[in-house]
Structures are given as C-alpha cells and as structure tokens.
Amino acid sequence: MTTSRKLALLFAVLLVVSAVACGNQEQTAEQQPAAAPTAEEMPAGHPPIQQPDPTTMMPTPVVTETNVLSWTAPEGWVQEPPANAMRQSQYRVPGSAGDGECVVYYFGAGQGGGPMANAERWAGQFTQPDGSPSIEAMETEEIVANGLDTLLIKVSGTYSSGGMMTGAPAQTMPGYKLLGAVVEGPDSNWFFKFTGPEATIDENAEGFRALIDSVQSPV
C-alpha cells in the first residue's frame, strides 16, 4: 500500500472516531437534567423556588373584622373559637406565668350596659388581700382611639371566674390581673377583657393597648 493510501485511510478513521465522540457528547448533554433556574433567571413576580422553613416563620398579627368594628391582635396571640355565644372573639395569650385569655364581648345594638357599670362589675370579680373593695383598687382612664370613646380598666388580686354567666365551673385564682376596655361603638358598647396571671398580663400589656388603639369602625 502506498504512503498516500495509508494517509487517506488514517484520515478516514480519524473522521469516524471524531463523529462518534461528538455524537456521544450530544447524547450525554441531552440526557443530563436541566439546571434549576436561578433567581435572576426567573420572571418578575415568580414565587421563590425554595419555600421558607416553617419552623423559622414568625407569627403574624391577627386581623378581626365584623360589620361594626375591626381590630388587630398582636403577634403570638392565638385566636380560638368562641367558647359561647356571648363572645365575639377570644384569644389565648402565652406568657411566662401561664396563658392569659382575651375575650371580646358584644351583646347587640343598645345592649351591654354603660362603661363604668361594667368596669365596676369586673372589679367585683376580684378580692384584695386586705379585704378592701376592689373597686377602690381599680384604675381607669378615658381615651379616644380612632374617634371611639374608650374606657380603660386595670385591677388585680384574687380573681373569681366562671359561674352561671359563663357556664364554666367557678374558679378562684390568686395573683391574677385584668386589663379591660369598653369601646363605645356606633350602636353599642364593645367589651375587651384580658385576664390571666399578673406576670403574663404585664408582659402583654403593650400588646393589649396596641389592640385597643387598632379598633376602628367602618361606619
């Protein structure tokens, strides 16, 4: 075989080997899964590819709206189904001394009684260590929040809850505290009653005040 024929044959073999190698590379590329698009490659407004870890998600405020009033509960307050028909809304409030409870009452247009009468009734659910009337230990403050006249109430002592009015067994709890607010709505008063161990109430006092300051009327 002449040298020229040998070179031609060698060239033909190299062409075949090169074609096979290219085909294998193309096939391998086609078989590899496409890389996930980066955030920069995603269209505007597309949700993130990785969802946030639910264990690191922070609680968000709970907005409650009725046809008369609306308000926003603080972060960490747990909204629960109302325990009875008198309750418009209720929240379990975690604290270092145990859970507190915040309840919102509304009895209908023109119902429920006046602010001070209810404040004195709530104070009457407490007894003082020295036996003095809790009405004398009660503190009140009149404010206007978002155009709504509001009476703030604070009293502490041994708290008696339950009984005929709530349908729950009567309980006596020393070292308790109440923060309350009577908000004069468009057609009647609304009652916000926050009770629990004194330390828990103190820890959440700013949150309760923020809730009261958030109360609004759509009317």
| Mean pLDDT of the 97-111 span | 95
Mean pLDDT of the chain: 78
Q: Are 175 and 154 in contact (CB under 8 A)?
A: no
87-126 burial code (b ≥16 CB/10 A, e <16): bbbbbebebeeeebbbbbbbeeeeebeebeebbbebbebb
pLDDT per residue over 199-215, tens digit each?
A: 999 999 999 999 999 99
> Residue 33's pLDDT band (boundaries 50, 70, 90)?
very low
Position 15 pLDDT exceeds 60: no
| Mean pLDDT of the 44-72 span | 55
CATH of domain 64-214: 3.40.1000
Q: Where are the domains of the chain?
A: 64-214
pLDDT per residue over 141-166, tens digit each?
A: 999 999 999 999 999 999 998 755 55
Position 124 pLDDT exceeds 90: yes
Position 28 pLDDT exceeds 50: no
- Of the two residues 67 and 20, the one the predictor is more confident about is 67
33-37, 124-128, 170-174: least confident range: 33-37
Distance CA 179, CA 87 (A): 17
